[in-house]
Structure 1
Amino acid sequence: MSRHAGALTAQRVAGRDVVAIQDTSELVLGGRRARQAGYGAVGKGGVLSGLLLHPVLAVEAGSGGLLGLVSMQVWNRGRAELAPRRRRTTAAKESRRWIEGAQQAGEVLAEARCITVVSDRESDFYELFARRPANVHLIVRACQNRRIERLTEEPADGLLFGMIDGQPEQGRFATTIPAAPGRAKRHAELALRFAPVALRRPLHGADPALPATVGLTLVDVREISTPPDGKPIHWRLLTTHPVAECGQVRRVIDLYRQRWTIEEFFRTLKTAGFDIEDADIGEPQAMINFVAAATIASVTIKQLVQARDGNTDRQLGDAFDPDDRPILEAVSARLEGKTARQRNPHPTGSLAFAAWVIARLGGWTGYYGKPGPKLMRIGLAKFNDIKYGTTLGLRNV
């Protein structure tokens, strides 16, 4: 399923600047009963049981439009993954998923004009930078206060965070921070610092065959004022993109901000669309298969929600097969009513046209509110039933 979804995504990325966003989410499926069924430990302390999902999503850099699934890994944690981290090689650690995700992005998205793999603090480990594919750039939110060598005329050994904290501001810009759970939308002013750095290979646990240093740029972004609800933004971003002036810094920040797409995707999978953690499937392998299928469907649902207002240039082929178009057009004609608000306002061949059809199948009337992930999930299931029905041949029995 993952390879098929990746092949479809590969057809959509040619000539585009693409952000490949990767992250891991725990799927909590129960406690003692789930453990007895064979599910591995998840959560702090290992009291709960479930699976882990690590998808890589392809997003167009300029528009933020979700292009599809690059790859996914779903696994049931065994005892080997719970052994002390320093006793295992990277190949035996769960952290290898970040390297594999970057490699899969380089392969699947090879026809893209530019590939940037974006990930959060959990992916900040030396081997990811040292082994990145040649056709892939990285933006990783720094977690480790690493040993560095400065790439300036006066090299000085030190630590990463102290070095950037000692730099003067190199610019500011204003931006809008969108609303999120527990946080209202707000306007913010951000201060910028950036500097080239060479990360040193860790003294312990790193493969001695890795290079002694890796050259990157550290971009430091800080919100000037303290917001009334929540902590001020402070990102330290390590990137392979060239950064020599504030315009390039802004581009790195804008690319990193696309990471929010995968948080919305997990919300669609877990609560807003599928409620996948409520699935009562006792056999772990069957649940892994279900998670894989739901992941692919959640990508389509997220694409439909993005396209519902007709404010993007997404085309039908970004989410549907070519053979789906006549079916969508026929269903649209059947669903349309007499009033303007009961007619599909979007051009045929656009993803917005399909989003209107799927939402109507899901129970949206066209009058009130905007269709969300749950309506899109219901509508997509009904559309797939209709599509299956078109393939049935009637026999004279």
Structure 2
Amino acid sequence: MIDNVEWAEKTFGEANLGDPRRTSRLVKLAATLANTPGKPLVNITESPADMEGAYRFIRNESVDATSIAETGFNVTAGQAERHKTLLALEDTTTISYSHKSIRNELGHVNQGNRCRGMLAHSVLLFAPESQEIVGLIEQSRWTRDITTRGKRAKHASTPYTEKEGYKWESASVNMSARLGAKIDDVISVCDREADIYEYLLYKLKTKQRFIVRSMQSRHIEEGENKLYHYASQLKSAGQKQIHIPQKGGRKARNVTLDIVFAPVTLKVPNNKRGESLPLYYVGCVEHGNSKEALCWHLLTNEPITTQAQAQKIIGYYEHRWLVEEYHKAWKSDGTNIEASRLQSKGNVERLVTINAFIAVRILQLKFAKDRPDDSSCEEVLSPKAWKLLWLKRVSKTPPDSAPSLKWAYTELAKLGGWKDTKRTGRASVKVIWQGWFKLQTILEGYELAMSLDLDL
């Protein structure tokens, strides 16, 4: 993890905003926001002049949020070249606001009349071999016309390209344009909402790799069966053990899953025109018949002929939760964009876009705990930084070799005020980042003392 100024320069330094002074302001603003994410600009700018400059940038209608985002996407595309296989983890979320001054500029978000907002579809690149979050490669935002609430009744007669479901194909088109030939190494990983005939057909025709969780038991050409009934008759190819963590009112538990797989051919839906879709099915079903039983029906164009290949597909799908964690870091726990009180949609979009990339940086730090056990903390901290963290937390001479990444995760969290009162071993994004910020302050103080040659 490089310091915030260097990160901001690398991420946004090439932004084409029509004036190099705007780009310089963008870099400075991004570095300031990254230092203390989630705080109002008035509280984190160093001087009244900096505060005024930051607000002028956010309010400048000549600054295009799309241009800001495109620069960050291109940086991610460059970083993707370092990895052999990449998962494109996709999901959609709502960004909601309740303050009245902006309600007229935003649309409905299915949260009643109290809230208005926009929707965002994000694609996060993840490298499974190195267990590394690479970056944000695509993100689109849109608002729903408040007068079209209840439009679902006209869903069948609405053209595919005008439906919200088209976002999946649109995201793949944009991602492919940025990655070029590298798209051949990318596997899109999507939840049930992406189980759309036209989207699956597009991925097959363009030979783009994908894993999509099935939403419905589609008709298949294998016998007279529907997909789920056919899957229930398949012979188990083995079992898989997974741990479901505690969340909200849900208790943590260990789960045994049966694995099945087979080639299948999806028939064209009765209300569609097109061709049958030759795919592979991978099932992952928990023992028992309770309502809480875990059941994944996965569709993919990755060849599946062995249990090992089926397990790899399931393992890839297990990482889809990272994009949900990303949205959480973006919306509330990290950059806290939903707490913004800006007065216009354009201003919100500019601030939201900058914070979209800061949220990735926050998530990268949080995910460090899940890296392999032998990972060194020097993957995220410089030698000087971890030694200062050691002195601060352990209060004795640092060891000759760097401690583990998990050690750094725990100590950064504790530096940020984490107590692990729930005994989960997982700290929130907020306390990890607070610990990171405190460590950067310690590091800056050390560097200043050394530059002045003070005898401390």
TM-score, normalisation: structure 2: 0.68
Between the aligned partners of 1:245 and 1:35, the Cα distance in structure 2 is 54
CA distance in 2, matches of 1:79, 1:219: 40
Cα distance, 1:192 vs structure 2: 1.9
Q: Please tell me whether residue 254 in structure 1 is matched to residue 326 in structure 2.
A: no
Unpaired runs of at least 5, structure 2: 1-67, 448-456
- Alpha carbons 1:341, 1:366 under 8 Å: kept: no
Shift of 1:124: 0.6
**Aligned AA (2:241):** A
Counterpart Cα distance in 2 of 1:343 and 1:100: 54
Q: State the distance in 2 between where 1:236 and 1:346 align.
A: 49
Q: Distance in 1 between matches of 2:352 and 2:295?
A: 34
1:17, 1:115 within 8 Å by CA — same for their partners in 2?
Answer: yes
Does the alignment pair 1:191 with 2:268?
A: no
Report whether the alignment pairs 1:149 with 2:221: yes
* Identity percentage of aligned residues: 23
Farther-moved stretch of structure 1 (169-178 vs 281-290)? 169-178
Q: Does 1:237 align with 2:298?
A: yes
AA aligned opposite 2:186: I
Does residue 1:28 correspond to 2:96, yes or no? yes
Q: 1:222 aligns with which of 285, 288, 303?
A: 285
CA 1:265 to 1:146, structure 2 compared with 1: closer, same or farther past 3 Å?
same
SS at the partner of 1:148?
A: coil
- CA distance, structure 2, for counterparts of residue 351 and residue 10 of structure 1: 29
- Cα pair 1:346 1:352 within 8 Å, conserved: no
Of Structure 1 and Structure 2, which has the larger fraction of its residues in strand?
A: 1
Secondary structure of the residue aligned to 2:303 is: coil
TM-score normalised to structure 1 length:
0.77
| 2:335–2:358 Cα contact (<8 Å) kept | no
Q: Give the Cα–Cα distance (whole angstroms) in 2 for the partners of residues 347 and 89 of structure 1.
A: 61
Indicate if the aligned counterparts of 2:264 and 2:280 stay in contact, CA closer than 8 A. Answer: yes
| 8 Å Cα contact 2:94/2:120 also seen in 1 | yes
The secondary structure found in structure 2 opposite 1:296 is helix
- Offset of residue 184 of structure 1: 3.4
**Does structure 2 conserve the Cα–Cα contact (< 8 Å) formed by 1:122 and 1:143?**
yes
Contact 1:5/1:71 (CA < 8 Å) preserved in 2?
Answer: no
Q: CA deviation at 1:97?
A: 1.1
Partner of 1:68: 135
Q: Is the 8 A contact 1:193 1:221 kept in 2?
A: yes
Whether contact under 8 Å (1:81, 1:94) holds in the other structure is no
Structure 1 residues 331 and 258: CA distance shift in structure 2, 3 A: closer
TM-aligned CA deviation for residue 237 of structure 1? 0.6
Query: 1:338–1:126: structure 2 CA closer, same or farther, 3 Å change rule?
Result: closer
- Across the aligned residues of Structure 1 and Structure 2, the Cα RMSD in angstroms comes to 3.9
Q: CA deviation at 1:187?
A: 2.0
Paired with 1:253 and 1:101, the residues of 2 have a C-alpha distance of: 23
Q: For 1:364, give the aligned amino acid.
A: G
Q: Give the aligned partner of residue 393 of structure 1.
A: none
SS in 2 for 1:288: helix
Q: How far apart are residue 88 of structure 1 and its match?
A: 2.1
Asked if 1:104 is matched to 2:174, the reply is: yes
Residue of 275, 290, 300 corresponding to 2:361: 300
Q: Does 1:123 align with 2:191?
A: no
Q: Does 1:374 align with 2:430?
A: yes
Name the stretch that deviates more: 278-287 or 15-24.
Answer: 278-287
Tell me the distance in 2 between the aligned counterparts of 1:182 and 1:264.
18
Q: Which residue of 2 aligns with 1:91?
A: 161
Report the alpha carbon displacement of residue 108 of structure 1 after superposing the two structures with TM: 3.9
Q: Indicate whether 1:270 and 2:326 are aligned.
A: no
CA offset at residue 169 of structure 1?
A: 2.9
Alignment size in residue pairs: 365
Find the residue that maps to 1:170 and give its secondary structure.
coil
Deviations 1:33-81 (A, max 9, x none): 3674311000256763111111100111234321111111122222587
Which residue type is aligned with residue 90 of structure 1?
A: Y
Secondary structure of the 1:116 match is strand
The match for 1:394 is none
Q: Displacement of 1:201 after TM fit?
A: 2.2
Contact 1:20–1:118 (CA under 8 A) maintained in structure 2: yes
CA contact (8 A) 1:199 1:215 kept: yes
Unaligned runs of 5+ in 1: 151-155, 320-324, 391-397
d(CA) in 1 for partners of 2:309 and 2:329? 32
Q: Which residue of 1 aligns with 2:342?
A: 281
Check conservation: 2:96, 2:118, Cα contact below 8 A.
yes
Contact 2:416 2:434 in 1 (8 A): no
Per the alignment, do residues 177 and 157 of structure 1 end up closer, same or farther by CA in structure 2, a change over 3 Å counting? same
Partner residue, 1:180: 247
Matched letter for residue 219 of structure 1: V
Counterpart CA distance in 2 for 1:370 and 1:237 is 29
Q: Residues 364 and 371 of structure 1 are in contact (CA less than 8 Å); yes or no, is this contact kept in structure 2?
A: no
Residue number in structure 2 paired with 1:39:
106
Moved more, 53-62 or 97-106: 97-106
User: Distance between the aligned counterparts of 1:149 and 1:329, measured in 2?
Assistant: 59
Amino acid at match of 1:93: K
State the one-letter code of the partner of 2:192: R
More helix by share: 2
Secondary structure of the residue aligned to 2:211 is: strand
Q: Deviations over 1:77-101 (max 9, x none)?
A: 2258754222322221111111122
Kindly indicate whether the alpha-carbon contact (under 8 Å) linking 2:416 and 2:432 is maintained by their aligned counterparts in 1.
Answer: no
